[in-house]
Amino acid sequence: APSSGAVDRSVNTVPNMLELNGASAIVTGGASGLGEAAVRALAAAGSKVIVLDLDRQKDKGEALASEVGGQFVACDVTDTDQVIAAVEAAKALGPLRSVINSAGIGWATRTIGRDGTYESAHDLEIFRKVIEINLVGTFNVCRLAATAMSQNEADEDGSRGAIVNTASVAAVEGQIGQVSYTASKAGVVGMTLTIARDLAAVGIRVNTIIPGLIDTPIYGEGEAAEQFKEKLSVGTLFPKRLGKPAEYASLAIELLRNSYINGESVRIDSGMRMQPK
């Protein structure tokens, strides 16, 4: 029979996607870098976003929140009371259905010093601090946000929300001097499936992104920074460049929405593999 000219788009519809429009969301480390990109992507999807970051990021965070119609909340992810306050702020904007954890710090110190003294070994308090923020802080947000999500009304697929955590390729290919950072991010990857199993009973999915070299403000600005980034990009496979924060955010949105991705850790790194240094 001749075509009527109508286009059947049914094959392009994905059933049972988590509805982000009209819901609230939390992005930790949301004032800049990966977090900022995630905030913008969630806002574009119709979410009311809590831009969660440290108080010293207040100016950036408030400007971003104002731009996307969200709200900035100053918060240390390791502080339980502050995280609960952020979760309650999100609930006031709409049902909390999504969280993207991108807050974190890095550190570069080798396990031992060059002079062979005990004093020059890796500072144990620094190691603890990196673990506390990157791993314990991520879990703190997961446990408290998931508690709030568990009270949501389930959709037709039984879903009440989704969480995306952020690790790093250092979790699996940590370079020289990255021991504390590697341990913290490997912990994030390691707890992903277990948290997903814990939360399956209440219809909350958990996934983790493992980013490679993403072009964020961490590398600085100016000619020297551009030269450094160009040097870094030599190790990428294809495309031969650093990743864009928007590419990370696009993956985060897919992991939130796609109801059949759960308990997974997904690399986004152009196919590169980190060398020892």
Annotated catalytic residues are: 181
Peptide bond into 239 cis (omega under 30): yes
Amino acid letter, 38: A
Chain centroid offset of residue 160 CA:
19
Distance CA 25, CA 12 (A): 26
Distance CA 213, CA 243 (A): 6
Distances, alpha carbon 14 to alpha carbons 22, 45, 163, 164, 261, in Å: 19, 15, 20, 20, 13
Q: How is residue 137 written in tokens?
A: 């802080």
Q: Which of 219, 235, 238 is nearest to 227 (CA)?
A: 219
Amino acid letter, 53: D
* Residue 119 CB-half CA count within 13 A: 1
Rounded to 5 degrees, what are φ and ψ at 5?
Answer: 90, -10
